[in-house]
Amino acid sequence: MKILLTDVYRIADLARIEIQTDEAEAVLGQLSNIFNLIEQMQTVDTAAIEPMSHAQEMKLRLRQDVVSEFDQHELFQSIAPQVETGLYLVPKVIE
């Protein structure tokens, strides 16, 4: 699969990362090399193989639906970039 410059900008936007126009070609070159390596995967027929999503075949545990954490919002918000009256502040999204 050939990656194009438009793909680079599209995935960067999805990933919330900025790519400057003067670095886009270099990023494209590196990603193309990596995807050439990844392309080796297509040499093996895997039609009948079940995907392996995890290292251990295990069921997720369930727990009792009870409160297990206590309120630590002051501690957690003490390391936030910007807070006010218990709220995380971000730029206005609704005018």
**Residues engaged in binding other proteins (CB under 8 A):** 1, 3, 7-8, 10-12, 14-18, 27, 30-31, 33-35, 37-42, 44, 46, 49-56, 58, 60-61, 63, 72, 75-82, 88, 90-93
CB of 29 to other proteins, least distance (A): 11
Selection from 85, 90, 84, 86 nearest residue 72 by Cα: 86
CB of 85 to other proteins, least distance (A): 16
- What is the 3 state secondary structure string of the chain? CCCCHHHHHHHHHHCCCCCCHHHHHHHHHHHHHHHHHHHHHHHCCCCCCCCCCCCCCCCCCCCCCCCCCCCCHHHHHCCCCCEECCEECCCCCCC
Q: Which is nearer to other proteins, 25 or 39 (CB)?
A: 39
CB of 16 to other proteins, least distance (A): 4
CB of 56 to other proteins, least distance (A): 5
